[in-house]
Chains A and B, each alone.
Chain A
Amino acid sequence: KNEVEQSPQNLTAQEGEFITINCSYSVGISALHWLQQHPGGGIVSLFMLSSGKKKHGRLIATINIQEKHSSLHITASHPRDSAVYICAPPSGNTPLVFGKGTRLSVIA
């Protein structure tokens, strides 16, 4: 079973700040998802990455498979980025294993 640890668990930032969320997992994997869960409950898959770095708009995700570590960065944060961010490795036949995530609040 893959144990997932995210830090921080809660994060409050001022608008415009650069944000980093870290994810460590216990079992080697071939890929990892970053997801965003909005306050209303909807889940959006942000990235699936297996190596290096991916960028989409103001979001950047990096992964180091050997060190079993991934990070999600948000540049120029905005209040609409307020959400729970979840890293989720696949398990078995690639269903996602969700952690509790990081609750981000961005204040204007």
Chain B
Amino acid sequence: EPEVTQTPSHQVTQMGQEVILRCVPISNHLYFYWYRQILGQKVEFLVSFYNNEISEKSEIFDDQFSVERPDGSNFTLKIRSTKLEDSAMYFCASRQWEAKQFFGPGTRLTVL
């Protein structure tokens, strides 16, 4: 069965560094999402992406965040200057039209 993949599974970085989290959505999916989950808290929506542009973003998704679909298969989340509070599990998800979302296994980001 097709699945969403994410790399790396765990990323450790120093505060102020840039990180790029990578996702490969399911190939025929059209909508792409990033969510995050701070340890012990609920999952929060960050951004959705459709037709090569951001379709919606949350208050969390400020100027430090950006997303890209550089080559038609990868979907990346960049954090320009990481802060301690960016430490979380980041989930990528994708879906087709009017269908349920499929989630990747997540990337655990630890900012020191």
Q: Which residues of A contact B (CB under 8 A)?
A: 31, 33, 35, 37, 41-45, 47-48, 86, 91-101
Contacts and interface: CB of A to CB of B under 8 A. Distances in A.
14 contacts: A31-B98, A33-B100, A41-B37, A43-B91, A45-B102, A45-B103, A48-B101, A86-B42, A86-B43, A93-B56, A96-B43, A98-B35, A98-B43, A99-B42
Interface in B60-112: 89, 91, 93, 98-103, 105-106, 108
A101 B31 CA distance: 24
Contacts of A35: 103
A96 B99 contact: no
A33 B101 contact: yes
Contact of B100 (A42, A45, A86, A99): A45
Given A33-B101, A95-B45, A41 B56 contact: no
A93 B48 contact: yes
A86 B50 CA distance: 25
Contacts of B105: 41-42
Contacts of A91: 45
A10 to B, nearest CB: 14
A47 B55 contact: no
